[in-house]
Each structure stands twice: as C-alpha cells, then as structure tokens.
C-alpha cells in the first residue's frame, strides 16, 4: 500500500502575488483558494495516475482552513485546522513513502521571492547547524527524520534555487517567476497544472533515487527575530540560548524535538507582540 504526504501552502501557488490573496480577509482570498486547490488537485492527479494508493494532505497556510474537502478528488484525506502539534507537517509519520510540498515559498530576505518569509512575520532568519533554511528545509528535515524523501516541490522560480541547494534531485514545478517580493510574472494555471501532474508523477516513479534530507547530530537551530523583545520573551523557554539581541538558539540530538522547539519559540514570540 503506497502512501504520500502533501503539505500545501498558498503563497507559492499559481496566480498569487501578495497578501490580498493570502490573507483570509484580503480582497482576492477566494480566488487564491481556487488557485491553491487547482495546484493541489493537479498534484493529486499525477500521484493517482502513477498508482499511489493513499494521499494525506495537510492544509499548511495561515489558519489552515483554506482547502475544502469537497473540492478534492474522492479517496484523499485532509487535515484541517490550526491547532496542530506539528503545524505544516501534521500527520506525517514513518508510514509514508514520500513527501511533496505544494505552494511553498522562499525564505525571508530573498530579493525576488514572492511573499518571501520564514514561517511567520516575526522571523528574519533561521539556520540549522549554521545553514540558512526556509520552510522547505525546516519541514523537509522532519520528513528526513522519518527517513522519507521530499520528492517534489511546487513554488516560484526563486524557491527552485533554494530547493536545489537542499537536494538537486528533488523534482520541481515553477509556478511563476518572481519580479519583486510582491510581484511576479504569472504562468497560466493550465500550464502549471499540466507540469505539476507530469512532474510529480515522474518524481514518484523516481522516488528511490531521491535521498531524504538529513542533518548531523547534535542539531542546533538559531532563530533571528525582527524585534528585541521577541528574543527577550523566548528566553523564558528552558534550554534556549541568547546569541545576540535578536537571535536565540536551541540544541538537541533529536531533530523532531528541535522542530517542535522552533514552533514553541514562534508561539512565544508571536504572543510577546500582544
């Protein structure tokens, strides 16, 4: 019985260029839901056509209630809602054969990354063992913790460069070309969907040649925040080290523990802003 886990974000999907799309209160949010669902369904089709038996999707954007189960093909399952222990990779475990990321985006600071950020609006930079990582790397290492390869990613042209640095064997569909952080040259969704379906199917067939993302132990994560008081409040968490006025660090031998510590730091940091 073959199983694939899909984490689906929104910023990197076709047709989306700014937060008027991504914010549930934004003027173009309904259109963004349609773009997100269209890209996701193209991925599902590619996997089902390739013979995958089970597909579990985790809604990974904002309040994580963007995808409607009735808009997906029958036979798939969806995790929805924002109270999730593992956030963007909720439901992932060692029973899966492969992982795919749809609608992902570049890390904060990427000059032409469309709506580039790293997990939240409070974070400037994240490193794992001194290597800068965005959400693709952070979540991909959770897959690697379970010895599962990330076989496919869909996002903008700048994310492709980021993914190639993680593992050049990961298959990729470019959904749009970043011009600035809030502008892009868009491809027609039909083109994007065709490419997603074809490429993810090839990725599944080639999955055994794609190595999981792994990190040496112990694992040290650093998080640089945008405001000093955020780092101040994060020092309330046990075993957190202050690196400088904006940066904190956490170290453990187990990556899943490090990942959950990162999520806890994000929650503490967000709460500090009121």
Q: What is the number of residues in the chain?
A: 274
**In the predicted structure, residue 274 carries a pLDDT above the cut 70:** no
Q: What is the mean pLDDT of residues 65-75?
A: 97
In percent, how much of the chain has pLDDT > 90? 99
Q: What is the mean pLDDT of residues 164-188?
A: 98
Number of domains in the chain: 2
* Same-domain status, 114 and 247: no
The whole-angstrom separation of Cα 191 and Cα 28 is: 21
**Is the residue at 31 inside a domain?**
yes
pLDDT tens per residue across span 140-169: 999 999 999 999 999 999 999 999 999 999
pLDDT at position 101, please?
Answer: 99
In percent, how much of the chain has pLDDT > 70? 100
* Same-domain status, 154 and 234: no
pLDDT tens per residue across span 121-137: 999 999 999 999 999 99
Angle between helices 189-205 and 29-49 (to 10 degrees): 40
* Same-domain status, 142 and 258: no
**In the predicted structure, residue 273 carries a pLDDT above the cut 90:** no
Q: What is the mean pLDDT of residues 252-259?
A: 98
pLDDT at position 135, please?
Answer: 98
* Phi-psi label, residue 38: left if phi above 0, alpha if psi -120 to 50, beta otherwise: alpha
For residue 243, what are the domain limits?
219-271
The whole-angstrom separation of Cα 114 and Cα 133 is: 16
* Same-domain status, 65 and 139: yes
Q: CATH no. for residue 13? A: 3.40.50.10780
* Same-domain status, 14 and 53: yes
Q: CATH no. for residue 226? A: 3.30.1360.130
Answer yes or no: pTM beyond 0.95: yes
Q: What is the mean pLDDT of residues 52-78?
A: 98
DSSP line for the chain = --EEEEEE-STTSTT--SHHHHSTTSTTHHHHHHHHHHHHHHHHHHHHHTT--EEEEEE-STTS----GGGS-TTEEEE--S--TTGGGTT--TT-SEEEEEEE-PPTT-TT-TT--BSBTTEEEEEETTEE--HHHHHHHHHHHTT--EEEEEE-HHHHHHHHHH-TTSEEEE-EEEEETTEEEEPPHHHHHHHHHHHHHHHHHTGGGSPPP---SSEEEEEEESSHHHHHHHTTSTT-EE-SSSEEEEEES-HHHHHHHHHHHHHHHHHTT-
* Same-domain status, 201 and 231: no
Residue 123, beta-bridge partner list: 225
* Same-domain status, 108 and 166: yes
Residue 127, beta-bridge partner list: 132, 222
* Same-domain status, 203 and 93: yes
Using the 3D structure, point to which of 189, 209, 229 is the last residue of a domain: 209
**Is the residue at 127 inside a domain?**
no
Contacts of 62 (CB under 8 A, 6+ apart): 10, 22, 23, 24, 82
* Same-domain status, 205 and 229: no
**Is the residue at 139 inside a domain?**
yes
**In the predicted structure, residue 202 carries a pLDDT above the cut 80:** yes
Q: What is the mean pLDDT of residues 114-121?
A: 97
**In the predicted structure, residue 60 carries a pLDDT above the cut 70:** yes
* Phi-psi label, residue 265: left if phi above 0, alpha if psi -120 to 50, beta otherwise: alpha
């Amino acid at each position: 019985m073959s199983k694939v886990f899909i984490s689906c974000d929104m910023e990197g999907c076709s047709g989306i260029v700014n937060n008027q799309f991504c914010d549930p209160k934004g003027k173009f949010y309904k259109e963004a839901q349609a773009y997100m669902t269209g890209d996701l369904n193209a991925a599902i089709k590619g996997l089902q056509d390739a013979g995958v038996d089970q597909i579990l999707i985790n809604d990974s954007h904002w309040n994580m209630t963007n995808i409607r189960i009735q808009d997906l093909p029958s036979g798939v399952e969806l995790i929805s809602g924002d109270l999730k222990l593992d956030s963007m990779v909720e439901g992932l475990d060692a029973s899966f054969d492969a992982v795919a990321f749809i609608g992902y985006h570049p890390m904060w600071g990427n000059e032409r990354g469309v709506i580039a950020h790293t997990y939240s609006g409070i974070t400037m930079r994240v490193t794992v063992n001194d290597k800068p990582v965005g959400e693709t790397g952070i979540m991909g290492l959770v897959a690697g913790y379970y010895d599962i390869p990330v076989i496919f990613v869909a996002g903008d042209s700048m994310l492709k460069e980021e993914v190639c640095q993680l593992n050049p064997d990961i298959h990729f569909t470019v959904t749009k070309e970043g011009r600035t952080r809030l502008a892009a040259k868009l491809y027609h969704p039909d083109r994007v969907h065709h490419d997603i379906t074809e490429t993810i199917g090839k990725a599944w067939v080639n999955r055994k040649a794609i190595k999981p993302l792994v990190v040496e132990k112990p694992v040290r994560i650093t998080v640089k925040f945008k405001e000093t008081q955020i780092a101040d409040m994060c020092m309330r968490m046990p075993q957190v080290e202050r690196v400088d006025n904006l940066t904190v660090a956490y170290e453990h031998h187990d990556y899943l523990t490090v990942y959950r510590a990162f999520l806890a730091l994000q929650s503490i940091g967000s709460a500090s802003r009121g």
